[in-house]
Structure 1
Amino acid sequence: MSAPASTNVSELLATAHWAALAHSQQRRKSGAQPAYIQHPLHVASLLAAPASSLHPDPPLEVLQAAILHDTVEDTHVTEQDLLERFGPVVTRIVLECSDDKDLNKEQRKQAQIDSAPHKSDQAKHVKLADKLSNLTDLMSPEGRPAGWSVKRIQEYFIWAKRVTDGCVDVNPGLGAQLDEIYRSATFEHGGKTYPCHPHYE
């Protein structure tokens, strides 16, 4: 028997508050440098939106994990902290979505590609929404990290597709949004327009 909707809303808001405290000293790397918490909140909102295949009843644990997905990787939060506050299911999903910081950058990127097809469906949902959020930011001059070249932006899109191709089966709704971006989206850079994914297949 699922929890009452009011209980879910209360727990989700408490999760958002907890994550906001964990990320309180962090900012996104875009020119405007917004508070970092906007990213995990956006990831959760994408999973709950009508275009997502989880709509209209996304599982609470998946939304919580979306909000918390960068806490272990990027803040002082530990696996034990998550276990004590959110339980084993949310903790497992978050850990599935966390990079191994003992690996270098290129190894972490390859590990995301290799592991994507083998993640739980819950983690795949979060991964898809995470990449969709990041790609949406990259298409905007205000949203992308300052100083990124055209080549670096396009390389991110190419890599992201390799990751999301391993997850896309669980959420056709988000998959369709991602495919549209890879297939035909463009971005402006230095007064010129470029395809986001220059080698779409």
Structure 2
Amino acid sequence: MSATTALIIKTTNFAAIKHKNQRRKDPEKTPYINHPIGVANYLVEAGVEDTDVIQAALLHDTVEDTDTTIEEISSVFGQQVASIVAEVTDQKGLEKAERKRLQIIHAKNASKQAKLVKLADKLYNITDLERSLPESWTEERRHQYFIWAAKVVKGCRGINSRLEEQIDQVLTRNGVEDPANITLLENELHE
């Protein structure tokens, strides 16, 4: 077994342990770990070979959604992986609307590696939303998520055409006109 394969298995196992009691909000209550594995898989399918990016994809929600810290990620997987995870992690203490606004703002200044994880994460989420409506969500909320995702993706464009094309296809099918050129509102651009 190659060292890279062993590292990916170690990372997947770490994420699986951290997310073991979590479920997605879909009607099937899918195990949460399916999400980070799916995000990593989208990256691999899009030709991404950077092991740090694949690891960060597997770990991208551990700090935000579990008791994991960036320091723990750094000590187990190294500073580069921790740095990517930190870039894609929302600040837990902020209101949800502010966290979403900051994702739009920070996307354009993120590293290439973080942008790859963000693109694959948004692709997974919108594909999942297209497949089924989460419990307690309305059609309007789903549509607003698609628009918000298009705004986040706008700041990540030019990094991976395969991911961007897939995202555009899902968004277009779901009523987001011209997702590559979606307009950002003035209040979304101020910090």
TM-score above 0.5: yes
Q: Which runs of 4+ in 1 moved over 3 A?
A: 198-201
Alignment of 1:169-180 (within 5 A): 169-180=158-169
Residues 83-118 of structure 1 deviation map (CA, whole Å, 9 limit, x = unaligned): 110010000000100001121010000000000000
Q: Structure 2 CA distance, aligned partners of 1:103 and 1:122?
A: 24
- TM-score calculated relative to the size of structure 1: 0.86
SS at match of 1:170: coil
| Residue among 8, 17, 24 paired with 1:12 | 8
Instruction: Confirm or deny: 8 A CA contact 1:154 1:198 kept in the other structure.
Output: no
Asked whether the equivalents of residues 65 and 90 of structure 1 are also in contact (C-alpha less than 8 Å), the reply is: yes
Q: Secondary structure at the match of 1:26?
A: coil
Give 5+ residue unaligned stretches, structure 2. Answer: 182-191
Could you tell me which residue of structure 2 aligns to residue 164 of structure 1? 153
The unaligned stretches of length 5 or more in structure 1 are: 187-194
- Per the alignment, in what secondary structure is the counterpart of residue 134 of structure 2? coil
Map residues 126-145 of structure 1 onto 2, 5 A cutoff: 126-141=117-132, 144-145=133-134
Please tell me whether residue 150 in structure 1 is matched to residue 139 in structure 2: yes
Structure 2 counterpart SS, 1:132: helix
Could you tell me which residue of structure 1 aligns to residue 189 of structure 2? Answer: none
AA in 1 matched with 2:151:
R
Structural mapping, 1:67-78, within 5 Å? 67-78=58-69
1:22 corresponds to: 18
Q: Percent identity?
A: 41
The structure richer in helix per residue is: 2
TM-score (norm 2): 0.90
Partner of 2:39: 43
Alpha carbon RMSD of aligned pairs, Å? 1.4
User: 1-side partners of 2:29 and 2:169: how far apart?
Assistant: 27
Indicate the residue corresponding to 2:84 in structure 1: 93
2:93 is aligned, of 90, 102, 106, to 102
